[in-house]
Structure 1
Amino acid sequence: MAVKLTDGVTLHVLPTKKFKTVRIKIKLKAPLREDNSTSRTLLASLLETNSQKYPTQTAMRSELSRLYGASFYTDVTKKGTAHILTLDLNVVNDKFLSESDSVLNQSVAFLEEVLFRPNVQEGAFHEETFNRERENLRDEYSSYYDDKQLYAALALQELYFDDPAQQIPSRGREEDLEKITARSLYMDYQKMLQEDIVDILVVGDVTEDELAKAFRIFSFSPRKEAGSQVFYAGKQGMDKKEKTEIHPVAQAKLNLAYDTGVYYHAENYYAGQVFNGLFGGYPHSKLFTNVREKESLAYYASSFMDTFRGTMTVETGIEGMDAPKVERIIAQQLEEMQNGLFEEEAFLQTKEMLKNGLYQSEDSPGGYLERVYANIIAKGSIIPLDEWIEKIDRVTKADVQDVAQNISLKARFLLKGESD
């Protein structure tokens, strides 16, 4: 299932006859730093736009059309202490074509071209492409202010974390763009290609042998194996941080951030997932039922756990004047969870919804590969679905209560209008 192409570069082949396409994700992982999120986001955009062989967007789209309508895109994310750049290609399986030439091999060659031969001239990215994509990214950053739900989420993240690298969005920030040039970005690209830990994940009706042979054309050099922990476990101060901003908004945003001590596939992970589902993760949760439905105090109210950073966030859309009352009700729901006051029916329903979500992820090639990759970087191996399901089934109400008792509020961000 796993083929070592060279030190720090691994091919993971996941054969299945379930899908009519073959999905390929190339993940390049680097330590998350304050100064690399923006450059890697811009780099991802450039790699998606053109290359030496396909010097225009039209030429690249034409090649994807020739590959029977293959889809290709890039993305950046962060997990804990890692920043991850992804190349993602979805292509029809050769078995459904009458052509003698392998579309799979051509698709791998396309990825090799895009990754190893970007549109570079004299040691710098193509100036026109670079300037255009930099402006596009600048426009994206400007749009964050207009999306108040996103703005509040990012503001809470900046307030909660003391570590500057954790404060920055995974896609970077506008103030860093001015420091990046076409030449400096090419240097960042070379560093990425030489030093990032690379995982290539493929799912579809394929074999390990054919994929290993196909990816031998990738000329990755050996790199130092990752030894650092991917989980972020930085301790925040004891005092709760609070911040309020006034914007011209009709709907206020009250967002809260908590320490949880719950990490991906740690001993308390499964109980943590059940806790989150009961607290604010599902429509039958305490936040949805009590804040939104019973009290009619919120347009939305939900919770989300980041188990690579040991945090939980609660996001609400409310009337600004109701913020103190909403916060009290949220605190009351957490206290009830800590005292084990939640219904057996809701507890069992949450377990079933968690398991259904896992089963559904098996039906999505992209979602399946993301779950497999998270397993790999967190545990170094793939956790079988039946084992995951079994551990959810074993969670008791006492386990959920234990998780709740270790959750503590650390940051509060309120975005409200002037009339509030």
Structure 2
Amino acid sequence: MERKQIADGVYLTALPAGQFHRCRVSINFIWPADRQWATAEALMPLLMERCCADCPDMTLLSKKLARLYGASLSVDGVVNSGSRVLTVAVGGIKDEFALNGEKLSEEYAALALGTAFRPYFVDGMFDPEAVAIEKEQLRELIASEMNEKRAYCVRQARRKFFGDAPAGVERYGYAQEVDGLTPETVTRAFFRMLRSARIEVMALGADACAVEQSVLKALEGIERAPADLPAAFAQPAQAEQSFEEPMDTAQGKLCLLFTAGQPQRPEKLSAARVAVALLGGTATSRLFVNVREKRSLCYYCAASYASMAGLLCIDSGVEHQNAKAAKQAILEELDALKEGPITAKELADTKRSLKNQLGAVGDTLQGMENWYFGEIMRGSLFTPQQVMEQVDAVTEEDVRNVLRMFTLSVSYTLTKGENAHV
């Protein structure tokens, strides 16, 4: 892997990916999340994925992708720990497999950059007809969060946890603001992104030199003033806030959010990985074995960790009448790991499971890209192999020290109960 700065606020990361017949080029815009701009920024990926100046309608874009041996194009946006990220990615077969010697890396880069920097405009702004169509799609995306109750419960807990902090800005914006979006407002949001975003270009298996030259050409004439990205920040410890939301579901949902009060330093992250996996990240974890299997208090019980926010999330599917008992059992298992014995076998099993996951990172282009982009966002560039070695070095006391940092901040339950407060 090679990463270098190629312009002000623009970086290129090249990964050879020699084990694959396919390659991928992605353009990642990263800039501070802002509640004021959230809904307009959420609409941009939907508009940009439709077409671009070089392929000004969806039919022409589909034909272009077909001519490139069935290449794929995607545009997506997320909020990552206080930063908004918009990713334009194009993937297809490598240059050496082209039937007529086409320089496919250049074609992929040109299509990705055209989509990223030159959307299809009418009179200097996004097409009003496209805006009207995609506003309806955005409404449906916002409304669809209710369809997956597990994810909905976690999102509701996170809303209470982050409040007005930048990390709490909604990925898809806010339903009450969609009607007010206009081509002008979304166009202003687009040029604001071009001006202020840090740009991370990733070339996986593609000709990195060709990609670099294409990026530099695309940047010509664009006014740039990259903004500083927000530093990793963890919500401070606070007294637990408990919320219940009545909902007509056969199965209740429970989400517990804990804060460490500080973000995890990259060099200490492997200890957190082991600790969280031992708690609830594998089929041999304490939550799976004791809360689910032995006590039958839940259908599932999983733990995950967001290092840049110092956030431990435990979510569970429960019978409504078992929600309180499941919560108590989860807290007991966490306390037991903080202060009680950890067997050599369960520590070894956890490390083995983690190393298997790390070993699988290189099995797909998407897995490689996700790994290294996550490392870039954290400000580190550890390879999966380096992290495996760090995992091997984690001790029982390291696990306890990590888990002792966490205090419960928010509990959120989807219940059939009538006496709810939210």
Counterpart contact for 1:257–1:409, Cα < 8 Å: yes
Counterpart contact for 1:32–1:82, Cα < 8 Å: yes
Q: Structure 2: where are the runs of 5+ without partners?
A: none
Which residue of structure 2 lines up, in the alignment, with residue 384 of structure 1? 383
In the aligned structure 2, how far is the partner of 1:235 from the partner of 1:224? 32
In the aligned structure 1, how far is the partner of 2:126 from the partner of 2:396? 56
Which residue of structure 1 lines up, in the alignment, with residue 178 of structure 2? 177
Structure 2-normalised TM-score?
A: 0.93
Q: 1:45 aligns to what SS in structure 2?
A: helix
Mean Cα deviation higher: 249-258 or 119-128: 119-128
Counterpart contact for 1:287–1:302, Cα < 8 Å: yes
2:392 is aligned with what amino acid?
D
TM-superposed CA distance for 1:144, in Å, is 1.2
TM-superposed CA distance for 1:382, in Å, is 2.1
- Per-residue CA deviation, residues 241-261 of structure 1 (Å, 9 max, x unaligned), is 111111111111111100135
Counterpart contact for 2:75–2:86, Cα < 8 Å: yes
Q: Would you say 1:320 and 2:320 are equivalent positions?
A: yes
In the aligned structure 2, how far is the partner of 1:222 from the partner of 1:168? 26
Q: 1:153 aligns to what SS in structure 2?
A: helix
Q: 1:74 to 1:326 in 2, by over 3 A?
A: same
TM-superposed CA distance for 1:19, in Å, is 1.2
TM-superposed CA distance for 1:226, in Å, is 5.0
Counterpart contact for 1:30–1:197, Cα < 8 Å: yes
In the aligned structure 2, how far is the partner of 1:413 from the partner of 1:203? 40
1:59 is aligned with what amino acid?
L
Which residue of structure 2 lines up, in the alignment, with residue 395 of structure 1? 394
Which residue of structure 2 lines up, in the alignment, with residue 271 of structure 1? 271
Counterpart contact for 2:81–2:166, Cα < 8 Å: no
Q: 1:166 to 1:3 in 2, by over 3 A?
A: closer
Counterpart contact for 2:234–2:259, Cα < 8 Å: no
In the aligned structure 1, how far is the partner of 2:228 from the partner of 2:142? 33
1:403 is aligned with what amino acid?
V
TM-superposed CA distance for 1:225, in Å, is 4.9
TM-superposed CA distance for 1:266, in Å, is 3.1
Which residue of structure 1 lines up, in the alignment, with residue 138 of structure 2? 137
TM-superposed CA distance for 1:228, in Å, is 4.4
Structure 1-normalised TM-score?
A: 0.94
TM-superposed CA distance for 1:216, in Å, is 3.1
Counterpart contact for 1:8–1:222, Cα < 8 Å: no
Q: 2:292 aligns to what SS in structure 1?
A: helix
1:148 is aligned with what amino acid?
K
Counterpart contact for 1:262–1:310, Cα < 8 Å: yes
In the aligned structure 2, how far is the partner of 1:76 from the partner of 1:358? 25
Q: 2:189 aligns to what SS in structure 1?
A: helix
In the aligned structure 2, how far is the partner of 1:75 from the partner of 1:91? 18
Which residue of structure 2 lines up, in the alignment, with residue 115 of structure 1? 116
- Per-residue CA deviation, residues 124-144 of structure 1 (Å, 9 max, x unaligned), is 211111111110110111111
- Per-residue CA deviation, residues 88-138 of structure 1 (Å, 9 max, x unaligned), is 111110101231331221221212221222121123211111111110110
Q: Would you say 1:35 and 2:47 are equivalent positions?
A: no
- Per-residue CA deviation, residues 296-351 of structure 1 (Å, 9 max, x unaligned), is 11111111111121101111111111111111101110011101433321111111
Counterpart contact for 2:358–2:385, Cα < 8 Å: no
Q: 1:377 to 1:147 in 2, by over 3 A?
A: closer
Counterpart contact for 1:262–1:269, Cα < 8 Å: no
Q: Would you say 1:338 and 2:334 are equivalent positions?
A: no
List aligned pairs for 1:229-244, cutoff 5 A.
229-236=230-237, 238-244=238-244
- Per-residue CA deviation, residues 9-49 of structure 1 (Å, 9 max, x unaligned), is 11211223111111111110010121233222210111111
Mean Cα deviation higher: 405-414 or 140-149: 140-149
Counterpart contact for 1:340–1:398, Cα < 8 Å: no
1:187 is aligned with what amino acid?
R
Mean Cα deviation higher: 214-223 or 346-355: 214-223
Q: Would you say 1:12 and 2:13 are equivalent positions?
A: yes
1:312 is aligned with what amino acid?
L
Counterpart contact for 1:251–1:417, Cα < 8 Å: no
Q: Structure 1: where are the runs of 5+ without partners?
A: none
In the aligned structure 1, how far is the partner of 2:228 from the partner of 2:195? 17
Which residue of structure 1 lines up, in the alignment, with residue 166 of structure 2? 165
TM-superposed CA distance for 1:175, in Å, is 2.0
Counterpart contact for 2:257–2:409, Cα < 8 Å: yes
TM-superposed CA distance for 1:262, in Å, is 6.6
Q: 1:73 to 1:160 in 2, by over 3 A?
A: same
In the aligned structure 1, how far is the partner of 2:85 from the partner of 2:158? 19
Q: 1:350 to 1:222 in 2, by over 3 A?
A: farther
In the aligned structure 1, how far is the partner of 2:336 from the partner of 2:134? 49
TM-superposed CA distance for 1:60, in Å, is 1.2
1:143 is aligned with what amino acid?
S
Percentage of matched positions with identical amino acids: 25
TM-superposed CA distance for 1:201, in Å, is 0.5
- After superposition, the CA RMSD in angstroms is 2.0
In the aligned structure 2, how far is the partner of 1:275 from the partner of 1:103? 44
Mean Cα deviation higher: 277-286 or 256-265: 256-265
Q: 1:170 aligns to what SS in structure 2?
A: coil
Name the count of aligned residue pairs: 417
List aligned pairs for 1:17-416, cutoff 5 A.
17-204=18-205, 206-219=206-219, 221=222, 223-236=224-237, 238-261=238-261, 263=263, 265-379=265-379, 381-416=380-415
Mean Cα deviation higher: 250-259 or 334-343: 334-343
